[in-house]
């Protein structure tokens, strides 16, 4: 069976996975962009986002490359799709990424409000799932056809899947940044009691990389 993975999820030193006050101008919340400085220069991200065959190599790039390997479908929380809340008042909004999003698979977006699928260039189709995290995972696994499903976030979505013990492996990149406020990923979660253990740790000047997996 395909695994459910979290990859390249950046945290601040004080545990926040996004800054406060997400908006169109600040899609990662105020200060949230600083969490991702370790991955922006990597060869993998430059290729995925811009089609460039350039960028840094090494440990940070290795983790970025692992994040795109063998991914057959994605799951996102609604906030990862856009800043709109409540009913879909503007269906012209098709995500943060322009006409050719970087997923190139089917993407299952968790929401309480139904919406027709949105087909984009490059093989990405957004499906809007209103019947919960288990239904989204079932549909994503069927779409992945044996490949893994990547859980993109945001924080609240990852917490739901952790609490349900549905995540098989999670890579966290802790950046040397303090946010002070925002969305805290692990507060109140007892990962050992949920059956998780640290399986890997390595650091670079820009991030400390941790991999946590089910026992």
pLDDT, position 87: 84
pTM to 2 decimal places: 0.94
CA 49 – CA 183 distance, rounded (Å): 25
Say if CB 106 and CB 181 are below 8 A apart. no
- Pair of tokens at residue 9: 């999820």
CA 163 – CA 169 distance, rounded (Å): 14
Over the chain (215 residues), the average pLDDT of each successive run of 10 is 95 95 84 95 93 95 97 95 82 83 96 94 96 98 98 95 98 97 96 98 98 96
Say if CB 101 and CB 124 are below 8 A apart. yes
Q: Which of 135, 34, 139, 127 is nearest to 81 (CA)?
A: 127
CA 160 – CA 109 distance, rounded (Å): 14
Domains of the chain: residue spans and CATH: 4-86+93-214 (3.40.430.10)
pLDDT, position 28: 85
CA 88 – CA 93 distance, rounded (Å): 9
- Residue 169 makes CB contacts below 8 A (sequence gap 6+) with 3, 5, 6, 199, 211, 212, 213, 214
Query: Phi and psi dihedrals of 78, rounded to 5?
Result: -60, -40
CB-based burial label for 204 (10 Å; 0-12, 13-18, 19+): middle
CA 82 – CA 142 distance, rounded (Å): 25
pLDDT, position 82: 82
* Helix%, strand%, coil% for the chain, nearest 5: 25, 30, 50
pLDDT digits (tens, 9 = 90+) for 147-179: 999 999 899 999 999 999 999 999 999 999 999
Rg (Cα) of the chain, in Å, rounded? Answer: 16
pLDDT digits (tens, 9 = 90+) for 49-79: 888 999 999 999 999 999 999 999 999 999 8
pLDDT, position 188: 95
pLDDT, position 130: 97
């Amino acid at each position: 069976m395909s695994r459910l993975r979290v990859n390249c999820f950046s945290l601040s030193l004080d545990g926040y996975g996004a800054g406060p006050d997400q908006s169109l101008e600040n899609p990662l919340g105020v200060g949230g962009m600083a969490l991702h400085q370790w991955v922006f220069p990597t060869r993998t991200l430059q290729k995925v986002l811009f089609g460039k065959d350039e960028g840094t190599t090494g440990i940070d790039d290795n983790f970025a490359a692992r994040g795109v390997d063998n991914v057959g479908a994605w799951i996102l929380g609604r906030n990862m799709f856009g800043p709109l809340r409540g009913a879909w008042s503007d269906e012209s909004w098709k995500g943060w990424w322009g006409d050719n999003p970087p997923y190139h698979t089917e993407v299952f977006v968790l929401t309480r409000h139904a919406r027709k699928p949105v087909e984009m260039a490059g093989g990405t189709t957004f499906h809007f799932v209103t019947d919960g995290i288990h239904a989204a995972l079932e549909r994503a696994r069927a779409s992945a056809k044996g490949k893994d499903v990547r859980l993109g976030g945001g924080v609240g979505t990852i917490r739901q899947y952790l609490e349900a013990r549905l995540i098989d492996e999670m890579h966290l990149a802790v950046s040397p940044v303090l946010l002070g406020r925002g969305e805290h990923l692990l507060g109140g979660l007892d990962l050992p009691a949920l059956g998780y253990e640290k399986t890997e740790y390595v650091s670079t000047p820009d991030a400390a990389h941790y991999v946590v997996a089910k026992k």
